Amino acid sequence: MIRERERLGEGELDGELSLTDVILRPVHNRNTFESTVERLANALRLGVFRTGERLPPERELAARLRVSRATLREAIGALREAGMIEVHRGRGGGAVVTYSGPPPPRGTQALRRRGAELRDALDFRAVVEPGAAYLAARRDLSADQRAALVAALERVSNAPDDASHRTADSRLHLTIATLSGSRMLVDAVTEVQILLHEMLTSIPVLQRNIAHSHAQHSRIVNAILAGDAPGARRAMEEHCAATSALLRGLLG
């Protein structure tokens, strides 16, 4: 169990809520196959399962998603065809993650055509993520939860390359949302981070912006750890505003 928690990342942050639980939540609609593909693909994009790791056993994934193993196998097959995983047969086999980030962008025209949708996502984020930070700071966090938050911050600060930084950044924001204790907030932040990931990978990586982002992340985390809910909200508002300004400028 300990090894499994370490492999999945932050592990149980709230007794009920963990990053794995958030992304791989049960499928409750009639589009079972499509929703299963979406859940698994989001888990890869947001770094719940990293490149080179094996997915959990089919039985475990099917139980977590509450789908049949036949549906799960079809979804895994779709991810294999999309080049996101490889499936190895035989003893010691399984599904291994090969996804290492989106392909280099061919330009920003497609994103610009979705301007209204993306502007709405940034406006939504400006409300949702500061609220998540505020609630996280108000909670009486356990030692494990505080350690998980610090570890998530360190992963962003020490990311060895741009792709790792983007994944670690998403995981930090999802960790903060998880610590809010609200499943609805976590779902909202997940959706926002997926769109944000798409936008940020379509612009150049600017080291000055990365340094500024690191400083903002530190202020957010320190405020949460200090129980300063208004300060955590203000720091997250500033961070979201900076990202939005950069994206509006570079994506038009």
Q: Where exactly are the structural domains of the chain? A: 19-97, 108-251
Q: What pLDDT is stored for residue 110 in this prediction?
A: 63
Of residues 65 and 109, more confidently modeled: 65
Vertex 221 angle, CA 220 and 225, to 5°: 120
Q: Give the CATH fold of the 108-251 domain.
A: Four Helix Bundle (Hemerythrin (Met), subunit A) (1.20.120)
Q: What pLDDT is stored for residue 220 in this prediction?
A: 98
Cβ contact 232:223 at 8 Å: yes
CATH 1.10.10.10 fits 19-97, yes or no: yes
pLDDT band of residue 231 (cuts 50, 70, 90) is very high
Tens-digit pLDDT profile for residues 28-62? 887 889 889 988 988 888 888 888 899 999 999 99
| Kind and range of the H or E run holding 157 | helix 143-157
Tens-digit pLDDT profile for residues 181-197? 999 999 999 999 988 98
pLDDT band of residue 88 (cuts 50, 70, 90) is confident
Identity of the amino acid at 40: L
Q: Find, among 38, 35, 237, the residue nearest to 129 by Cα.
A: 237
pLDDT band of residue 81 (cuts 50, 70, 90) is confident
Q: What pLDDT is stored for residue 252 in this prediction?
A: 65
Q: What pLDDT is stored for residue 97 in this prediction?
A: 92
Q: Find, among 196, 225, 204, the residue nearest to 129 by Cα.
A: 196
Using the structure block, give the residue that is written with the tokens 């990202």. 243
Kindly tell me if the per-residue pLDDT of 6 is higher than 70. Answer: no
Tens-digit pLDDT profile for residues 122-132? 999 999 999 99
| Kind and range of the H or E run holding 207 | helix 207-226
Kindly tell me if the per-residue pLDDT of 19 is higher than 80. Answer: no
Query: CA 87, CA 114: separation in Å to the nearest integer?
Result: 34
Predicted TM-score of the model (pTM): 0.74
